[in-house]
Copies of this chain bind each other. A is one copy, B any other.
C-alpha cells in the first residue's frame, strides 16, 4: 500500500488535510493507496497559484510549451513501469492495456508538441479597419486562463492527469488544475509528480500545473472558483450536467466541456449482416469490459432471415465472452443493475457471457427489444456502461431512418453497408446521423479513437455539453482559446509588447 500524505510537492506543494480516502484493486479489494484530500483553503491556494501563472504562461512561446509537453512525455516514460503498475492495480485493467494507454498518452502529448511547433494550435488573421483612415487589425487566439480537468475513471492515463484535456489546455497556454479521479489516486499522484517535475525543469511558474484530491464538494468548489475559466470533464451524464449547472450559475459563467454518455448506435444494413461483421461487433462491444465512451451499445439489425445469422453469431460470441473486472465496484454494480432494469422493462436477454469468478467482473450481455417498444421509451437510449449490447430489429429502411431520427445526441454513429441497396439507405440515414453524432463511421467500429488532427470526439447533447468542439485531436485546444483583436497597434509595438508569439 502506498501512503501519500498530501498531494504532490514541487511547485504546487499542498498538504492534504481532509479525511483520508483509499483506492482499491477492484479485482481483489486490496487497498492500493491512502490519501488525504484538499481542504477548501488548499483549493484556494492552488487556484491562486494558477491565476498567478496565467499571464506568463499565456505569453510563453509555442516552442517552450512544446518542450514542456515533450518533457512530460519523457518523464512518464521514465516512470513507465511504476505508472503502469499503479494503473493496473487501481483500474483492474490489463497490463497490456495500460502499456498501450501509456503510449497513447505520451503520443498525445507529442502530437500537441508537434502541432505547436508547426503553428497548428490557434490562429491569427491580419487585416485593417478600412474606411477613410484605416488602422491595422490583428486577430489572434489567446489562452482563456486556468482550466479545471476532472480525470476519467475509464482512462487512468489517456483521459486523466496527463490526458487529452490537460495536454490540449497546456498546448493552448492555460494553467491546469487536475482533480484526481477517486478510483486511481495513486496513479494520478505519480503522473502529477512527473508533470510538476517537468514544469519545474522548464523554469515556468509552478502554478502552470496543479493537482487536487478531494470529494464532490471540492470538485464543485473548483468549478465555482473565480480563477477557473473553463472545465474539462469525462464521466457520467449526471456528473457532467451537475458541473455544467455549477458553471452556469457562477456570476460569470464559464464553459464546461463534459463528455458524458453515448450508446454509439450501429446500423447494420442488410448487405452487411454477416457473421464476420458480428465478430467485429462483439469484439468492439466487449473490448476493455465495454468501458469505452465509444462502446457500441445499440445495434440495428435487419428483421427476419437477413439479420438472423448476425444475431445468432453475436449471441454465440457473447456466450463465450470471458467476464472482465470492471473499474470499480460501483461501476460493476451499476452495470448489472442497468441490465436488470432493461430486462424488467421488457428487453429479452438474448445471451449472457461466462459467469465471473473474480470480484467486480459481471458477464457480458446481449439484449433485444423490438422497434416499437424502443421508439416508445427514451430510456432505451440510456447508456448501460459496460459490455451490454441492445439489439433492435428493423423491417426496412424507412423504419430504420425513423428510429435514427428518434436518437439522442451521440459521440459516434456507425453504418455497415455493402452494395447499391445499402448505399441508398445510407444516403437516407446520413443527413439524420450528421445531426446526431460527432463522428460517422463507414464499415468500421467506434472503439479505438484515433488521436489525429481530423478526429472529432464529441457530439450533440447528451453525448457532450458542447457539440462545437472535440476532446481528442489537435482541435481540442480550441476549447481553451478565445479570439482577441488588437486594433491600431503598430507591428513594432505588438512585437515589443506581446513578446513571444502565443499561438501560431
Residues of A within 8 A of B (CB): 54-55, 58-59, 125-131, 135, 137-139, 142, 144-145, 244-245, 248, 252-255, 408-409, 423, 426-427, 430-432, 434-435, 437-444, 448, 450, 452-456, 458, 460-462, 465-470, 473, 475, 478, 481-490, 493, 496-498
Residues of B within 8 A of A248 (CB): 244-245, 248
User: Is B127 in contact with A453, judged by CB distance below 8 angstroms?
Assistant: yes
Give, as a whole number of angstroms, the nearest-CB distance from A38 to chain B: 26
Of B128, B434, B452, B485, which contacts A438 at CB under 8 A? B485
Residues of B within 8 A of A453 (CB): 125, 127, 139
Which partner residue on chain B sits nearest A124 by CB separation? B454
Give, as a whole number of angstroms, the nearest-CB distance from A105 to chain B: 16
A430 to B145 CA separation, bound complex (whole angstroms): 15
A248 to B254 CA separation, bound complex (whole angstroms): 12
With A127-B454, A252-B462, A454-B139 as contacts: A483 and B488 at CB distance below 8 Å: no
Give, as a whole number of angstroms, the nearest-CB distance from A382 to chain B: 13
User: Is A465 in contact with B244, judged by CB distance below 8 angstroms?
Assistant: no
User: Is B485 in contact with A439, judged by CB distance below 8 angstroms?
Assistant: yes
User: Is A486 in contact with B442, judged by CB distance below 8 angstroms?
Assistant: yes
A145 to B453 CA separation, bound complex (whole angstroms): 25
A448 to B487 CA separation, bound complex (whole angstroms): 12
User: Is A456 in contact with B54, judged by CB distance below 8 angstroms?
Assistant: no
Of B461, B467, B485, which contacts A440 at CB under 8 A? B485
With A450-B129, A452-B127 as contacts: A442 and B489 at CB distance below 8 Å: yes
A303 to B352 CA separation, bound complex (whole angstroms): 80
Give, as a whole number of angstroms, the nearest-CB distance from A488 to chain B: 4
User: Is A454 in contact with B125, judged by CB distance below 8 angstroms?
Assistant: yes
With A128-B452, A454-B125, A497-B430 as contacts: A145 and B435 at CB distance below 8 Å: yes
Which partner residue on chain B sits nearest A468 by CB separation? B482
Residues of B within 8 A of A481 (CB): 468
Which partner residue on chain B sits nearest A450 by CB separation? B129
With A131-B450, A454-B137 as contacts: A488 and B252 at CB distance below 8 Å: no
Residues of B within 8 A of A426 (CB): 493, 497
Identical chains in the assembly:
2
User: Is B54 in contact with A488, judged by CB distance below 8 angstroms?
Assistant: no
With A461-B252, A497-B426 as contacts: A137 and B488 at CB distance below 8 Å: no
User: Is A444 in contact with B487, judged by CB distance below 8 angstroms?
Assistant: yes
Give, as a whole number of angstroms, the nearest-CB distance from A58 to chain B: 7
Which partner residue on chain B sits nearest A429 by CB separation? B497
A452 to B59 CA separation, bound complex (whole angstroms): 26
Residues of B within 8 A of A430 (CB): 497-498
With A248-B244, A427-B497 as contacts: A454 and B138 at CB distance below 8 Å: yes
Give, as a whole number of angstroms, the nearest-CB distance from A143 to chain B: 9
User: Is B486 in contact with A452, judged by CB distance below 8 angstroms?
Assistant: no
With A130-B452, A253-B465, A467-B144 as contacts: A484 and B439 at CB distance below 8 Å: yes
Which partner residue on chain B sits nearest A470 by CB separation? B483
User: Is B438 in contact with A483, judged by CB distance below 8 angstroms?
Assistant: yes
A227 to B340 CA separation, bound complex (whole angstroms): 34
Residues of B within 8 A of A55 (CB): 431-432, 435
A482 to B486 CA separation, bound complex (whole angstroms): 27
Of B59, B438, B452, B461, which contacts A431 at CB under 8 A? B59
Residues of B within 8 A of A137 (CB): 450, 452, 454-455
User: Is B439 in contact with A493, judged by CB distance below 8 angstroms?
Assistant: no
A438 to B140 CA separation, bound complex (whole angstroms): 10
User: Is B455 in contact with A488, judged by CB distance below 8 angstroms?
Assistant: no
Which partner residue on chain B sits nearest A435 by CB separation? B145
Q: Return the 3 tightest CB-CB contacts between A and B, nearest first.
A: A127-B454, A252-B461, A456-B485
Which partner residue on chain B sits nearest A493 by CB separation? B442
Residues of B within 8 A of A466 (CB): 255
A246 to B382 CA separation, bound complex (whole angstroms): 24
